Amino acid sequence: MWSIGEVKSKGKGAFKANYWPCVATSLLLGVVTAGSSGSVASSGSNAVSASSEGQDVTSSLQSLDPEVLAMLIAIAGGAILFASVVSIILKIFLINPLKVGCYRFFRKNVETQDAPIGTIGEGFGNYVHVFITLFLKDLFLALWTCLFIIPGIIKSYSYRMVPYIIKDYPELSAKEVIDKSREMMNGNKWKAFVFDLSFIGWGLLSLITCGILGIFWVNPYIYNSKAALYLELKEQ
């Protein structure tokens, strides 16, 4: 059985041994997944002002001619639809391969403690296979989340190892990659959840420092530790 302390220690050691490439890759991964804590904090701080501004906008719209209002609604709806389509296309064709490449970097770094940053480019190798596998993973996860939030969270842990497996086992089909991730996480989901919770203190420190600590320490440390967890489960 794996221990949280040992896994985190391996991740920290790999991070410190290859510091700057880990920081750069972590920053890239954070950008492409839009996972920075700063964006969440800024949205919360603007909630009150947005509410008052919304009331002013509503009163202004009520005074408009119905035809003009209908045209504005149509334009807004089209813009939202266009933005959504572009976002989905970017995620499928660019962000997903980049994520696979970043996870590949951290997986190799834990193993060698000297992974080159160019490893990220491996995410675009065998592109069709990466595209299909990540698309199916996201689709399955979305369908589970549509049921209820809790099943979606549980399944996110089941599919957690997909970005690592897809490159370690290129001979597997998309469904086999997903099934192997489920097999690896079987009996380990709760402990992996506790593993994630163990980084809460670091996350709070990152917030206090406006994300600076997250960029230069917390996020690379977490990504290396997650890769160390994958290798631990792979050995088992």
pLDDT of 199 above 80? yes
Tell me the residue range of the domain where 101 lies: 4-235
Q: Read off the DSSP letter of residue 236.
A: -
Q: Which residues of 52-63 are buried (b: 16+ CB within 10 A; e: fewer)?
A: eeeeeeeeeeee
**Tens digit of each residue's pLDDT (9 = 90 or more) over 40-53:** 334 444 444 444 55
State the number of CA atoms in the 13 A half-sphere of 145 facing the CB. Answer: 9
The total number of residues shown for the chain amounts to: 236
pLDDT of 235 above 80? yes
Q: 65 pLDDT band (50/70/90 cuts)? A: low
Task: Residue 199: name the closest of 179, 222, 226, 167 by CA.
Answer: 222
pLDDT of 81 above 80? no
Q: What is the pLDDT of residue 60?
A: 58
For residue 96 the two structure tokens come to 């997903």
Q: Answer whether 181's CB lies under 8 Å from 173's CB.
A: no
| Separation between Cα atoms, residue 116 and residue 17, nearest integer Å | 12
**Tens digit of each residue's pLDDT (9 = 90 or more) over 147-170:** 778 888 899 999 999 999 999 999
Q: 236 pLDDT band (50/70/90 cuts)? A: confident
Count how many domains the chain has.
1
Helix, strand, coil: what percent of the chain each, to 5? Answer: 85, 0, 15
What is the H or E stretch that residue 153 is in?
helix 149-158
CA dihedral for 214, 218, 224, 230, sign (positive or negative): negative
Q: Answer whether 155's CB lies under 8 Å from 144's CB.
A: yes
